[in-house]
Structure 1
């Protein structure tokens, strides 16, 4: 006897996905209510903030976009019209001088070398910052050894291989800004590691020397270090040797950044558990082998966000080299302001706005990278 099974019309045959929570519980509306409108005080602060943002950003948008002049051949395009209408940023001036902002006075026919330098820089930066990049050990060798040598030969020139010698007095603009930043990064990291290890050394002389160097350099502003490097460096060389005018601030920037980098690395070394040291020594590893294979890789991985923060500060501080006569981006912009072809009331503000956008893009990108690294490591610790 077979049993007859009938399907009940009120029973669901397939599983239904859960509905999303109401907008008042989760989503943008809930976030606004919880963070901006949760109390009378928060409502008042939100209104005041929106009003201040209106006072700041509306004129800024009008100046940079709505009333801006985008095309033109000379200052006439960026002057107020016969009716006295407002004129915003003179982007036509920035377009006309953009090549000078990037290359400075680098010879026109040799600027392909600067373009190759930019490509080599991008390769090295991506290779080092991409944590999942293949063969990152080779990337470190490229960035800290091969890249500086090749870039120096490429930009300075070498008659033996047919590259025309280009004096550093012709370098300027974004080229110099990136060179100062990269030199500070390339040399400050290994030098900072050595100083951090020296500060934790068991030898009193090495520890004292490292402490004195770090505290003295960190105790003075960068502009003082630049002036000292510009005036004192020639005194430490033989009388027949004169250091290059660009080399002097490069040494000052590298020394200054190394002192701050040493403290960041020292924090990473202190965060390594004592068991890591004991385990490495139990395997018979020597001091340098232990540091190279066990301790330093973990310490540097921990302090990557701190290292990136030092790089951000260093990148912004490169504008100070203009005080000692180096034509970085800010100095090249100031040099073009004396050109009567583009002399208008808004030219100066337009040039500085271009510099602000340039620094913001680089610094914001580095800060977002640092934040992404922190979140990635936080997820790793939660696991």
Structure 2
């Protein structure tokens, strides 16, 4: 379960590489020197440290440094240190406020954990560092003690574009976090990741008021299988407790993703999270196969029109080629369930070979307000008919896919 407290080590050794007195004061304010924090300043740049940089850096828990992304000599010096890195030292770079996404990606690619603007204040620096430390600690605990089963992978597919699958994915992810005000036990707190794999038209970040941090483009451009450190750098933590991978802002080809990237990501994410919710594109592509091989359940959003039902049937047949026994939850959006089923609903159930249990009523006002404000319906308008239906869907999914702790070896 997700710990509500921010992880903070009992003691921290911090290394500062900068001549900037304002940065030195900022670090001193955030990490006051005492028996818990020891801050040392070592030169103005990694180049000036020469051969001592490697030994000095890895004797510290946290290295904060100022970097000019156009200084190729300094970049090479930092990269030389990071090629020998382990996961015990966190590297945080402070750089120009108007840094482009391309330059930021270059810095992340050489192994820097976090890239922050020089104008950041103390609270921002402290929050960024704690977020990285907390994510790393959760991952280590999960992997080392073997106390948690692998997380549940739940893809959300759509029978046609514009059917509302992103609304379902976002609200499902936020509801599955659990905690106060949910259908789950108030003490429960799940770790949930939301991956927007709708590469060309994904907008889950808009529903959560998040800006694309360029993480997906880094993932696509990275020739190597992602590691835990890399994933931590591209996932964004939302205030409702969901870690989000935004779809890329620039238009990219659907074939930009590779099956091996998906495999590598899910290997790590299933160790770290209780639930991995994946918003899929309205397309059939090769790289979805590893998703469905691991899927615990599929949420397929549709309506009861003839074209949509026919397409839903085709998708199920395709997805079950990768996972024969894949359970499917059909979610009928923008329609109300009725006591007496109309003939077209009975016919849809006959084609889909199941009873349609999940219905999301039409409530355009609530749905529009949610998107405009960047707040999920289950957070903004939970007591509305649509909010209750979404929470009920999440409760049903949780009840049927609840992670079960495994015994320690």
What band does the TM-score fall into relative to the shorter chain? under 0.3
TM score, norm. by length of structure 1: 0.23
Q: Which has the higher strand share?
A: 2
TM score, norm. by length of structure 2: 0.22
Work out which of the two has the higher radius of gyration on C-alpha atoms and give 1 or 2.
1
